[in-house]
Amino acid sequence: MDDFQMMDGPTPLTSISRPFDEILHEPGYLEYQEELRCLIFNTAQTEPPSRDGTPGPALQPGDSYTPEQRIEAQAQFEAALSHGRRLEYLQNWIAEVAPWLDMFDSDGAFTIQVPNLAQRCPALLYAMLALSARQLERKEQTQHSFDSLELYQQAIRLLGPLLQARDMALIPTCVILCVLEMMSASPQDWRKHLEGCAALFDAMGVNGFSGGILQSVFWCYARMDLCGALISDGTRATLVPMAQWLPPGSHVARAASLFRDCMSPEMHANYAVFLCSRVCELISDRTAFTELGEANGCDDQEFKARWTTIWHELQEWVSMRPEEMKPIQSVQAEPFPQILFAHWPAISSNQLYHTACILLLEAVPQGVLAEGGQEWSATWHAKSVCGISLTNPHPGCLNNAIQPLWIAGRLLSHKSEHLLVAKLIRSIESMTGWATTWRISDLEAEWGHKVQVA
């Protein structure tokens, strides 16, 4: 555990969190953020052209560009990379940023396909560079550096041709800009940043089974959408309704067979995201029914039936994992088990399985009897969540671990466990640039004491 020894002397963890993100004070950033939001919603609400003889929206990203536009875009691509640190930002994209966006995608949509598409799509290129620059600025704690803001603004300025043609390249471009916004956003604002992309997916018919780059981008967004639901602490479901994660006409009850038919470890990992999101939806519906009096049908009988169905699907998920999704080593240790995975998608998906089980066990309906076994222990699941993050240092998986660690951390009782989890959360911000330390304050409130670094 020596990797987490950051400084000498007892200092409250929350006092050494990063300063408030400067970019959030910039009027230009807020202005362009609102402009992007308006552009996305206007596009989502506008029907595609239906003139006779005119093709509908492009089915694949970049299809709307003419040969002349592609030549011009290639020239813009080369010119763009000749300025400042932009080539460095592209290198950082490939080495650091894309791998955590591709965490559940062995084909490397963000590492390979998105950079190739960016050569003929200037808005996408600038979105990539903006996110990469923002990640470096936060990771390096760079003061008064706003390359990311300039690149963010340029990406929004270049969205025009994609908007007019309703080119599918809009989808990865806007999702990447959404990731940039959420990297620094306060948790209260997460849903605002997610809403635009949810509207685009609906308007342009993109779902978790669309295939190719669009499917990969959807699942990248879905993980953020789930994080937003987890942040709400039982009061909100995901912005994209569960039925819209599936192909048109599919029923949520058939989801298990849809995921199994794909026959891939990556889709089994995505299935864990789907199941955890269904848990958030169920708890949100139950909260609205019992505390707000909302007539959504989630009475005692309905709640018990849905709870039981999802619980069994979760246990089926873990029992039917492909070999790639199982740990290559699992050692019981104190205070947390060591659970090592060789395949990236296995890390977060198994962590989400444990997270979903914790949420369900905290809301067991009357009349449900525990069948025995460690899967019925919320504390076992909580320690597994922490053990997975401590044993698997992949940055993308660490980013997605913040909300599971918060949910698991609330169940830990010993101060030594608190210290280790708090150090882990702070180290994630140092390694990745993602704002994470606000969750330490939340955990300290749950634990009833400040955490000190020895």
Q: Is the pLDDT assigned to residue 454 strictly greater than 60?
A: no
Nearest alpha-carbon partner for 1 in 443, 440, 422, 435: 422
Mean per-residue pLDDT, 317-326: 96
CA angle centred on 239, ends 234 and 241, rounded to 5°: 95
* Cβ neighbours of residue 294 closer than 8 Å, sequence gap 6 or more: 288
Altogether, the residues listed in the chain come to a count of 454
Which of 282-286, 405-409, 426-430 is predicted with the least confidence, judged by mean pLDDT?
Answer: 426-430
- The per-residue pLDDT for 11 is 35
Which of 34-43, 141-150, 182-191, 199-208 tops mean pLDDT?
A: 199-208
Does the structure show a pLDDT above 80 at 9?
no
Q: Which ranges of 394-452 does DSSP label H, i.e. alpha helix?
A: 395-399, 402-409, 415-432, 438-447
Instruction: Name the burial class of residue 13, with classes exposed (0-12), middle (13-18) and buried (19+) by CB atoms within 10 angstroms of its CB.
Output: buried
Average pLDDT over residues 145-165: 88
Q: What is the DSSP letter of 331?
A: E
State pLDDT tens for residues 363-395.
Answer: 999 989 877 789 999 999 999 999 999 999 887
Is-contact 424 386, C-beta < 8 A? yes
CA dist., res. 323 & res. 320, Å (int): 9
Amino acid at 326: K
Q: Is 12 helix (H, G, I), strand (E, B) or coil?
A: strand
Rounded to two decimals, the pTM is 0.89
> What pLDDT does residue 326 have?
97
Yes or no: say if 397 and 347 are a contact pair by the CB < 8 Å rule.
yes
Question: What pLDDT score does 5 carry?
Answer: 34
Tokens 């039936």 map to which residue? 305
pLDDT at residue 65, rounded to an integer: 63
Question: Which CA distances in Å does 203 have to 66, 162, 206, 241?
Answer: 24, 15, 8, 13
**CA 32/CA 122 separation, integer angstroms:** 17
Q: Name, of 182-196, 317-331, 396-410, 439-453, the range with top average pLDDT.
A: 317-331
Pick the closest to residue 169 from 119, 128, 124 (CA basis). 124
Q: Among all chains, which residue has been given the structure tokens 């506008």?
A: 46
Of the candidates 195, 174, 149, the residue with the CA atom closest to the CA atom of residue 21? 149
pLDDT (average), residues 163-174: 90
Residue-averaged pLDDT of the chain: 86
**How does DSSP assign 16-76, residue by residue?**
GSPPPPGGGG-HHHHHHHHHHHHHHHHHHHSPPP--TT---S-SSTTTT--HHHHHHHHHH
Instruction: Among 56-70, 226-240, 274-288, name the one with the lowest average pLDDT.
Output: 56-70
Q: Give the closest residue to 422 by CA, choosing from 403, 441, 440, 444.
A: 440
Residue 409 has pLDDT above 80, yes or no: yes
pLDDT of residue 17: 39
For residue 25, the model assigns a pLDDT of 65
- Which residues are CB-contacts of 252 (< 8 A; sequence separation ≥ 6)? 242, 243, 246, 278
> Residue 404 and residue 227: Cα distance in Å, rounded?
9
Residue 425 has pLDDT above 60, yes or no: yes
Q: Which of 13-22, 73-82, 247-256, 299-308 has the highest mean pLDDT?
A: 299-308
Q: Mean of the pLDDT values across residues 410-419?
A: 95
- Give residue 187's pLDDT: 67
pLDDT of 429 over the 90 cut: no
Res 24 pLDDT > 90: no
Mean per-residue pLDDT for 161-177? 90
Give the C-alpha separation, 57 to 54, whole Å: 9
> What is the reported pLDDT for 10?
33
Tell me: the pLDDT tens digits for 48-104? Answer: 543 333 333 444 666 666 676 667 766 777 777 777 789 999 999 999 999 989 989
Whether residue 144 contacts residue 22, with contact meaning beta carbons closer than 8 Å, is answered with yes
* In the predicted structure, residue 289 carries a pLDDT above the cut 80: yes
**Residue 341 phi/psi, 5° resolution?**
-115, 145
* pLDDT score, position 13: 37
Average pLDDT over residues 251-271: 94
Q: Which amino acid is at 307?
A: W
Asked, as a colleague might, if the bond just before 335 is cis with ω within 30 of 0, I would say yes
| pLDDT score at 255 | 95
pLDDT, tens digit, for every residue of 341-359? 999 999 999 999 999 999 9
Residue 43 scores a pLDDT above 50? yes
Residues 205-224 have pLDDT tens digits of 999 999 999 999 999 999 99
- Cα 61 from Cα 121, distance rounded (Å): 9
Structure tokens at 75: 């020239």
pLDDT band (50, 70, 90) for residue 287: very high
- The average pLDDT across 237-251 equals 95
Whether residue 2 has pLDDT greater than 50: no
